[in-house]
A and B are shown apart, each in its own frame.
Chain A
Amino acid sequence: NAGVTQTPKFQVLKTGQSMTLQCAQDMNHNSMYWYRQDPGMGLRLIYYSASEGTTDKGEVPNGYNVSRLNKREFSLRLESAAPSQTSVYFCASSAMRGVGGELFFGEGSRLTVL
């Protein structure tokens, strides 16, 4: 069972470069999320998509854009990377609103911006 798959797992960028993190889930979930994890700060929500065709800002959206390509895929784009965006990024999905709120996570993508 693949669950939630993220690519790439590791990436090094120079300041100002752009990149896209890809995420796909095979659980037929409606909602998808992008979080970033930083030491001592837990996970913070960047963007989420409650259902196909909708996206909303989370707690820390600045410097990021997202696309819900279809029900399975939700990508995160950094248009002009900054050192402050060095972090571990997690994609997650959930079945639907109203079902306990449980999220299923990918294995993470470690991004370093020099």
Chain B
Amino acid sequence: GDSVTQMEGPVTLSEEAFLTINCTYTATGYPSLFWYVQYPGEGLQLLLKATKADDKGSNKGFEATYRKETTSFHLEKGSVQVSDSAVYFCALSDKDAGGTSYGKLTFGQGTILTVHP
């Protein structure tokens, strides 16, 4: 079945440091890949997504590139801020060869990021 594996956390950085959170996946079809972010006390919200190989998703200074050859979707940001402190989830939604999503998301275990001033 589908699965997503994220790097173990928690991750603690100083402001303006470079961030990488690793994510790898297994899927039987042609998945879309997502990064969701959960701020304290809130639900998850979509950070970025990529729907096919070599696509790059980007938002709020975060980027991730869909690498089919390494089955990876690593999240990066060049300079983190205190306000980026949150839990980050990698997820996939598998779809068939025609591009129709099966409609369910499979999540990784989440990575807690704490950024200090």
Contact = CB atoms under 8 A, between A and B. Distances in A.
Interface of A: 4, 31, 33, 35, 40-45, 48, 50, 58, 90, 92, 94, 97-108
Contact of B109 (A31, A40, A100): A40
Interface stretch (B44-52, B60-68, B71-79): B44-52
B103 A101 contact: yes
B95 A90 contact: no
Contact of A101 (B89, B101, B109): B101
Nearest first, the 3 closest Cβ-Cβ pairs linking A and B are A101-B93, A105-B43, A42-B107
Interface of B: 4, 6, 32, 34, 41-46, 49, 51, 89, 93, 95, 99-110
Contacts of B103: 31, 48, 50, 94, 97, 101
A103 B32 CA distance: 12
Contacts, number: 69
Contact of A45 (B41, B104, B110): B104
Contact of A42 (B89, B93, B95): B89
B43 A107 contact: yes
Contact of B49 (A98, A102, A107, A108): A102
